Every structure is written in C-alpha cells, then in structure tokens.
A and B are shown apart, each in its own frame.
Chain A
C-alpha cells in the first residue's frame, strides 16, 4: 500500500507565476489535509478536504490560494501569482476518516519563489 504521494518534490517559480501542488492520498483515504511549513517554523494547518468538499479552510490565506479534492484524481493546492513569501514546504496528509488520531503525511513539496 503506497503512502501519501506528493509531486513535484521541488518546485521553482518566478514571482507572479502559478504553482500547482498535487497530493495523492493513501488508498482508501477520503480525507486530505494541507499544511505549510515556513523556514524555522512548525507546520501550520491550511485546509481540510473530503472528496469534492472543503470542510475547513480557516488556515488558508484569503487571496491567491485555493484547494480542491475532486471525485477522481489527486488533491490540488493552487497558488496564483506567487510571491517570495510563499516559499515554504507544503505537506499533505490523509486519513481514512475524520477523528482518526493518525494523519499519514507525504514527503512534502518544497516551493521556491525567485
């Protein structure tokens, strides 16, 4: 059973471009969580999605950031018009149900904005 997959592992964008980060949850998991880790800080919750639904996006910046988890395919975190402050590691986690004490994490995508 493959773990949580994230791609790309490293992404470089110039200011103003768009970044798309993909996350494939573990097989059988329908709950996905995105976290962001800024340099020398802890991971910060961004958004919680179930298939086709956003459950909690309280950690998402109000502008330029969006997330989806379609019925088919991976979850996508999209950042439009990236700025240098978006440079961070973005981690995805999944669980089979809400309330599970264990979230299974992917290896992360490291975004660098030039």
Chain B
C-alpha cells in the first residue's frame, strides 16, 4: 500500500473549519509537511512539524500530530473560498526525500 494516505475529497461551507487527515507508515519520519496546490501552480509549502512535536499553530492553520497512531491532521479555521485547492500531506525521514499522499481536493461552498 501507499506510504502516505489521505482522503481524496473534502467539501466545506465557507466560514466553517476544515480538517484534512493523513496517515503514514514510516516510523522514522522526521518531518511532516502540508503542501497546497492551486490550479496550474506548483506545490506551496504551508507548514511543517517536527516529529517530536504534538501541535503547531500558524494563524488559521493548526497541525496535530499523533506519532503513536502515525496520524497527521491539518485544520483550517474560518475556511475561505481562496482555500479551495489540493492539499498534500508529506513525510520525510532524511533531509530531502519527501513521500507524498495523493492529495485531498478541498472545495469551499458558499
């Protein structure tokens, strides 16, 4: 199976919170990442968390890491239409080789 798994689609109402979930298998993962891809653009790093952390918050973004269950989540507070995009979860056990999930397409509806 895939090393990193995430659900493919999420639909959320504008103003609500979005939660995107991800699971990974590599217990030696050092860093875990969330990337955002807008149509026609490259992947943009949103945030990352070191494996010895449980949580990281950056403005509207909150990352939660459950290392025991190898579960990572990204919460977007007050979701806006500009948040519609594909969100990729990724992990790395060295300092350059990233393993990505298939991406979650987030659609924000009015």
Supposing A33-B96, A42-B4 touch, asked if A105 and B43 sit within 8 A by C-beta, the answer is: yes
Nearest-Cβ distance from residue A26 to partner chain B, whole angstroms? 11
Cβ-based interface call for B82 (8 A): no
How many A-B residue pairs have C-beta atoms within 8 angstroms? Tell me.
69
A33 partner residues in chain B, CB cutoff 8 A: 96, 98
The interface on chain B, measured as residues whose beta carbon lies within 8 A of the other chain's beta carbons, has a size of 25
Nearest-Cβ distance from residue A39 to partner chain B, whole angstroms? 9
Supposing A42-B2, A42-B88 touch, asked if A35 and B100 sit within 8 A by C-beta, the answer is: yes
Nearest-Cβ distance from residue A90 to partner chain B, whole angstroms? 12
A44 partner residues in chain B, CB cutoff 8 A: 99-100
Cβ-based interface call for A102 (8 A): yes
Are A43 and B48 in touch, CB under 8 angstroms? no
Nearest-Cβ distance from residue A91 to partner chain B, whole angstroms? 7
B44 partner residues in chain A, CB cutoff 8 A: 105
Are A42 and B100 in touch, CB under 8 angstroms? yes
Are A4 and B96 in touch, CB under 8 angstroms? no
The chain A residues found within 8 Å of chain B, CB to CB, are 3-4, 31, 33, 35, 37, 40-45, 48, 56, 58-59, 91, 93, 95, 98-108
